[in-house]
């Protein structure tokens, strides 16, 4: 049943809370590894623009909250801007002591580690969230055993029968019902390979999945793949220890990352509509909706956004961490930094791409709302 969504103020506050947590985690990853390599950090900012509150630590870092809360940055000694582009004429203006603490004079491996630490700690943060949830609530387990078949649906066409255990779909291992639902949902109206087990014998089939338009309690529509099986095996809550919980947390994070990359790839290849991409307005809306369902749903959603933030920042686009890593890779191969003019052009193109995409997604979000 469709219900009214949370209020505007609640949605904005929930979104800002989630964004602030994730931006802090991401930038802290850059910060802590930079400090490990003895790089001087001049600014740690949550948000952009004019400072509204801040303080200077004994290390000399200015910690601050800025006016525009849509992101954040860490500025290292020697940076010309928040994108960590090196200031002009660093070679001739810095002393030996200053070079020792300047990001741009550190070995390329250390600079790459500092850049990669932001996205990687987003993945680690999601792993820690899942670890806490699994340790606190256990793991729900429901075996993917077919209990019935819907008539004239893909499962029937694939030759599935009652009692079959589904082992994989589209090459992805299926261990429980949750894996099955997640994987099938990614491939509406697409042909997939299905492997299942019948009386101890492995069998393979290929079938085109159906499409199901689902509407959640807030009226959001989702286009998902549909196999057409009934799965009535009882769900058990399995208690896990720390080692197993950590392994499950890593697996859950990798599964979510795989699903996000698969969906993004489908959009790029034109298989999925651009409408399936969400911009800041849509993310804020869903954040408020999840927060209205309780703190547990909110925390799980924060884990998903943290994984998404880590993935997006690893895309090889200048201005993003992935773009910086690409330049560092070229430098490591070439033995010298990429030409400053090429880097400048890359940053300009990257900035234009990011701004253009954000504008498109925002307009798309507003139109869908």
CB 70 within 8 A of CB 44: no
pLDDT for the residue numbered 39? 94
Q: pLDDT-derived band of residue 4, with 50, 70 and 90 as boundaries?
A: low
Tell me the C-alpha distance between 289 and 283, whole Å: 10
DSSP type of residue 276: G
Q: For strand 221-226 and strand 229-230, is the pairing parallel, antiparallel, or unpaired?
A: unpaired
Q: Which ranges constitute the DSSP H helices of the chain?
A: 8-36, 90-93, 96-100, 108-137, 154-157, 177-185, 242-268, 280-292, 295-313, 321-334, 340-368
Residue 348's pLDDT band, with cuts at 50, 70 and 90, is confident
111-164: per-residue pLDDT in tens? 999 999 999 999 999 999 999 999 999 988 889 999 999 998 999 999 999 999
Q: What is the mean pLDDT of residues 319-342?
A: 88
Contact 153, 210 (CB under 8 A): yes
What is the reported pLDDT for 89? 60
What pLDDT, in 10s, does the model give residues 261-311? 988 888 878 777 766 677 778 888 889 989 988 999 999 999 999 999 999
Q: How far apart are CA 142 and CA 340, in angstroms?
A: 56
Q: Which residue has the tokens 């299905």?
A: 194
- Residue that is written with structure tokens 């069998």 in the block: 203
Tokens representing 251 are 């697996």
Q: What is the pLDDT of residues 183-219, one digit of tens each?
A: 999 999 999 999 999 999 999 999 999 988 877 776 7
| Residue 260, helix vs strand vs coil | helix
Most confident residue range from 62-66, 82-86, 351-355: 62-66
Q: Which of 27-31, 209-213, 288-292, 356-360 is predicted with the least confidence, judged by mean pLDDT?
A: 356-360
- Tokens found for residue 270: 């034109």
For residue 351, pLDDT over 90 is answered with: no
Sign of the CA dihedral 229, 230, 233, 239?
A: positive
Top-confidence range, 24-28, 46-50, 290-294: 24-28
Percentage of the chain with pLDDT > 70?
92
Looking at 27, 42, 211, 244, which residue is catalytic? 27
Is 27 considered catalytic here? yes
Q: Domains in the chain and their CATH numbers?
A: 8-133+307-368 (no CATH), 139-238 (2.30.42.10)
pTM of the full predicted structure? 0.88
Query: 274 by DSSP, 3-state: which?
Result: helix
In the numeric block, the tokens 């790459």 are attached to 112
CA distance 67 to 70: 9
Reported as a pLDDT band with limits 50, 70 and 90, residue 356 is: confident
Task: From 293, 313, 294, select the one nearest 125 (Cα to Cα).
Answer: 313
**Please, which pLDDT band fits residue 87 given cuts at 50, 70 and 90?**
low
**85 or 186: which carries more pLDDT confidence?**
186
Residues 6+ apart with CB under 8 A from 182: 255, 259
Q: How far is CA 96 from CA 39, 90, 100, 103, 105, in A?
A: 14, 11, 6, 13, 10
d(CA 148, CA 47): 53
pLDDT of residue 86: 60
Q: What pLDDT shows up at residue 3?
A: 59
Q: Which residue in the block uniquely carries the two structure tokens 């920042």?
A: 313
What pLDDT does residue 232 have? 81
pLDDT of residue 125: 97
């Amino acid at each position: 049943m469709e219900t009214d969504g949370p209020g505007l103020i609640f949605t904005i506050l929930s979104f800002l809370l989630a964004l602030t947590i994730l931006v802090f985690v991401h930038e802290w990853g850059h910060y802590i590894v930079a400090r490990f390599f003895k790089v001087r950090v001049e600014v740690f900012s949550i948000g952009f623009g004019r400072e509204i509150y801040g303080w200077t630590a004994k290390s000399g870092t200015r910690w601050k909250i800025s006016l525009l809360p849509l992101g954040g940055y860490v500025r290292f000694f020697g940076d010309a801007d928040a994108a960590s582009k090196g200031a002009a004429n660093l070679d001739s203006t810095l002393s030996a002591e200053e070079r020792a603490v300047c990001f741009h004079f550190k070995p390329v491996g250390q600079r790459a580690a500092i850049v990669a630490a932001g996205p990687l700690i987003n993945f680690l943060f999601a792993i820690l969230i899942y670890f806490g949830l699994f340790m606190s609530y256990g793991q729900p387990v429901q075996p993917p055993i077919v209990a019935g078949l819907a008539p004239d649906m893909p499962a029937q066409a694939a030759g599935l029968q009652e009692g079959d255990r589904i082992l994989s779909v589209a090459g992805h291992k299926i261990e429980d019902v949750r894996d099955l639902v997640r994987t099938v949902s990614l491939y509406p109206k697409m042909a997939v390979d299905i492997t299942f087990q019948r009386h101890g014998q492995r069998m393979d089939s290929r079938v085109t999945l159906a499409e199901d338009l689902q509407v959640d309690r807030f009226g959001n529509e989702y286009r998902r793949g549909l196999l057409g099986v009934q799965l009535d095996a009882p769900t058990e809550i399995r208690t896990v220890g720390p080692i197993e919980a950590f392994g499950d947390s890593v697996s859950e994070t990798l599964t979510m990352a795989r699903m996000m990359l698969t969906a993004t790839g489908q959009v790029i290849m034109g298989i999925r509509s651009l409408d399936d991409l969400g911009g800041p307005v849509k993310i804020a809306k869903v954040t408020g909706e999840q927060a209205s369902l309780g703190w547990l749903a909110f925390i799980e959603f924060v884990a998903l956004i943290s994984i998404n933030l880590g993935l997006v920042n690893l895309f090889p686009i200048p201005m993003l961490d992935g773009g910086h890593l690409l330049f560092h890779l070229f430098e490591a191969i070439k033995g010298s930094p990429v030409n400053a003019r090429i880097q400048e052009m890359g940053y300009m193109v990257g900035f234009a791409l990011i701004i253009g995409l954000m504008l498109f997604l925002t307009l798309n979000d507003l139109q869908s709302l």
